[in-house]
Structure 1
Amino acid sequence: MPIQHPQPTEIKLRRNSRVLEISFENNAHFALPHEFLRVYSPSAEVRGHGTGQGVLLIDKEAVSIKEIEPVGNYAIKLRFDDGHDTGLYSWEYLYELGEKQTQLWQKYLDRLQQVGHSRKEPRIKG
C-alpha cells in the first residue's frame, strides 16, 4: 500500500510578496517564494531528463507566479511571468520543498556562488 502524504487544505498566492502559502491537513504550513518554486521546478527543463542533468537557473529573483491551475486531486501547475508553465507540482513535492526549504535554498545559493553569479534581492511590490 502506498504511503499517504498530507493533502493541502489551503493554497494562497501572495503576488505582492511573491510567496505561495500552502497549508496541509497535518497542520504544516509553508511559505514558498516564487523564485524558490521556479528554480526547483519539477519540469524536465530544470531537472533534465536524467540524473545529473539539472540546469542552474539564474536571474529569477523577480519572477512571479501569474496563475495556479489545479491538476486533478494531486497537483498544481504554476504559470510564471517568465513564460515557464511546465512541470506539475504534486502535493508530495510541495510538501518536500516546504520541509527542505532551508537546505535546498542554501544549496541553490551555493551553486550560484560556485559559478560566480551574484543574486540581486528583488523589490517587494506594493
Structure 2
Amino acid sequence: MLPTLVRTVDEHRRQAAERLHAAQAATPGSQFTTAGQTWCRSVTKNPATKVWADDPDTSLRRDLTMEEHKAFWAWAIVQTLRHIGIRVEELTELSHHSLVQHRLPGTGELIPLLHIAPHYHLPRPEL
C-alpha cells in the first residue's frame, strides 16, 4: 500500500501546484485550463491574499491556495514518515528547533541533523 500512497500524494501535490500556478497566471474573471479541466479565476475583493477558481460546469468555488497548501503538507508528512521512520506522535512535535547543526571536526563541513526528542507516555489508568 505504501507505493500507492506515495504516488497518490505526490500526484495530488503536483496537480494542486499546477492548478494554482495556472490560476495565478490568469487574470481574475478569465478562464484557464490545467490537466484537461477548464476553470474560471474568481474575481475577489483581495486577489493577492488567496487564489479562488470556479468550476464552470458546477459553479463550485475552490480555494486553490489552501488546496495546494494542504496537498504539499500531506506529501511532506508521508515523505517524512517513510524516509525517517518516526512515529506520528514524534512528527507532530517537530519544529524548526528540531534542526541542529553539526560541524565535522576533520573537514569543518556543516551537517544538518534532525533531533527528535524522546516521547514519554504516562501509563493509562485502568478503566
Give the TM-score of the pair, scaled to structure 1. 0.26
Structure exhibiting the larger radius of gyration computed from Cα positions: 2
| Structure with a larger share of its residues in helix | 2
Richer in strand (by share)? 1
TM-score normalized with structure 2 length? 0.26
